[in-house]
Chain A
Amino acid sequence: MSVNLEKIREIFADYSPEKGNFMPLMHEVQKACGNWLPEEALKEVSKLAKMPLNKVYGFVSFYTMFSTEPRGKHIIRFCKDGPCAVKGSLVVAELLMKELDVEIGDTTEDGKFTLEETACIGTCTAAPAIMIDDEVYGNVTPESLNSILKKYR
């Protein structure tokens, strides 16, 4: 897909280092680019923020929520840390891999979903938990998983 440079300029109009808003704006840029950060987008950010491209790349490659590879329309994240692991998060992950026919980190053929692991999402008292885009789902069971996925198909 082509990158909407105008949109990126609009987002970065509010940038200033003192505002400490590089990260929130990068989240917005990623959203505007379809859940990932193409090279052209990083080059534009580099110009707008007056930051060398290698620094921009160093930044996005450090944080797991950013991707420099294309991702699906919806990002499904499952937690596999202790509290979720003992409540069957791996069963949930396997079901997701089977249902979507992808490996962890991959995107479905139709470009709808990307499946990722995530660190704890603070839903440990309702484990296992998954997150789809901005929405968190707790106490996930094989049955509830299907009805959750239906909302996004």
Chain B
Amino acid sequence: MKYNTKILSTENVLLKNIGIIDPLKIEEYVAKGGYKSLAKALKMDRKEIIDTVSDSGLRGRGGANFPTGRKWLFTYNAKADQKYLICNADEGEPGTIKDRILMEGDPQQLIEGMIIAAYAIGASKGFIYVRGEYRESIKTLRTAIAQAVEKGYLGNKILGSDFSFDLSVAEGGGAYVCGEETALIDSIEGKRGEPRLKPPYPPVEGLFQKPTIVNNVETLVNIPHILEKGAEWFRNIGASCSPGTKLFMLSGDINEPGIVETPLNISFTEVIEKFGKGVKDGEIKFAQIGGSSGNIFTPDMLGKVWTYERCCEFKVSYGTGSIFVCNDSRNVVDHILTVAEFFEHESCGKCTPCREGTHRVREILEKFAYGEGTVSDLELLKDLCLVMKKSPICGLGQACINPVLDAIEHYKSEILAN
């Protein structure tokens, strides 16, 4: 099929139109009730919209889980002649395909979410930063934006209100680090995408030094639904501390790879069994959750329900929601070496711990892959990872060693046996 992806769940909110409507026909989105939330929002007070989003308990879906309403409030309160809204569609975590599906399958849902968000925070200009490799998403969004302008949902005096909003697509150029919001901002400004030192944070000082909200695609597509059905409806979905549905993506050794929308009250084992029809060719050995920098989950951990609170307690993250399954024929060293090579290439080079560290991590892991690693190499690797967890300036450097540390903790004997 067109999206190369099966939708495995049936009770969907965010995915409900995908594969059903023609993404290039705005009429079909409107016929499904689209843009009703925008009309409703434009009659509301801006602060009331932010309160609704805060009350819903929505957290950012890009991986960091920051409360969306609280983030918006920073920019709402900031005094400036110009504010910006950016949609982070630089989806680069291996195993993660949700943003692409959302953009290519139902682009108006995202655009509606963005217009409402922009109105709430007081932004008159917005960008969707799509990674350069997503040519189809870029084309689809450009067509969808033109249609929304034509119908009066975008542009000057939207739906007869006093609110004007201009939206355009900004492309990436093939740099994973641009998913980091300040790197992304620099990239839109026509610079190398190197993360900035923080603070100041973007909601106060972002694009062109103006207050800027950067939200993930999946976060923004929730907005029309929250406005339409109310904060309480959202709060009642799934676990109380992690309300709403989340998109999970199954890849790797799985019988039925695809995308799943489910409340966060289900274990990863259930997602794998119920939606993915189980592990392919053997038993499960581990799964990496949330992309390259995601944690490695043992079968025991996969059996638990990972709400946001539980993740905080055990200092793990489900990140973007990708579930990359490895069966018992896979060697954990091979996998983390692939990850280490990825980060060695994607480190932007701005700060030393990441630039040098990713290189050395790959070197040491290669020793194990060739059967030359020793106990002291493993100690060195662990020390290096602990330094990297604390010292780089951005999330890439700090998180890229997560899977290595997890592998050392859970699969130490296997690494040493290599």
Contacts and interface: CB of A to CB of B under 8 A. Distances in A.
Contacts of B360: none
A27 to B, nearest CB: 6
B92 interface: yes
Contacts of B4: 123, 125-126, 129, 136, 138-139
Contact of B190 (A59, A87, A125): A59
Given A20-B127, A82-B292, A83-B94, A134 B136 contact: yes
Interface string A1-43: 0000000000000000111111110110000000000000000
Contacts of B322: 124
Interface stretch (B15-23, B155-163, B169-177, B307-315): B169-177
Given A82-B338, A131-B133, A125 B176 contact: no
B190 A127 contact: no
Nearest to B253: A86
A75 B207 CA distance: 33
Contact of B171 (A27, A82, A124, A127): A27
A20 B94 contact: no
A58 interface: yes
Interface in B317-334: 322, 324, 326, 330
Interface residues of B, number: 58
A27 B134 CA distance: 13
A26 B95 CA distance: 28
Contact of A124 (B96, B134, B170, B208): B96
Given A65-B173, A122-B91, A82 B192 contact: no
B208 A18 contact: yes
B192 A26 contact: no
B258 A63 contact: no
A80 B96 contact: no
Given A63-B175, A124-B94, A119 B133 contact: yes
Interface in B1-26: 4-6
Contact of A125 (B93, B250, B330): B250
A51 interface: yes
Contacts of B171: 23-24, 27
A106 interface: no
Contact of B94 (A51, A82, A131): A82
Interface string B331-350: 00001001100100110100
Contacts of B324: 82-83, 124
A85 B338 contact: yes
Given A81-B342, A83-B95, A119-B174, A17 B335 contact: no
Contact of B249 (A20, A26, A59, A125): A125
A120 B95 contact: yes
B251 interface: yes
Contact of A64 (B93, B173, B257): B173
Given A26-B173, A119-B176, A124-B251, A81 B188 contact: no
A125 B258 contact: yes
Contacts of B335: 82
Interface in A104-122: 118-122
A20 B188 contact: yes
A86 B134 CA distance: 22
B342 A119 contact: yes
Contacts of A129: 4
Interface string B365-400: 000000000000000000000000000000000000
Given A119-B345, A124-B94, 7 more contacts: A20-B188, A20-B207, A23-B171, A64-B173, A64-B175, A82-B95, A126-B257
Interface of A: 17-24, 26-27, 49, 51, 55, 58-59, 62-66, 77, 80-87, 118-127, 129, 131, 134-136, 138-139
Interface of B: 4-6, 91-97, 99-100, 127, 132-136, 168-176, 187-194, 207-208, 249-253, 257-259, 288, 292, 322, 324, 326, 330, 335, 338-339, 342, 345-346, 348
- What are the 5 A-B residue pairs with the smallest beta carbon separation, nearest first? A63-B173, A22-B190, A81-B94, A65-B174, A64-B174
27 contacts: A17-B208, A18-B208, A20-B168, A20-B170, A20-B207, A23-B173, A27-B173, A55-B191, A65-B172, A81-B94, A81-B292, A86-B253, A86-B326, A86-B330, A119-B94, A119-B342, A120-B96, A122-B100, A124-B324, A125-B4, A125-B5, A125-B97, A125-B251, A129-B4, A131-B133, A135-B135, A139-B4
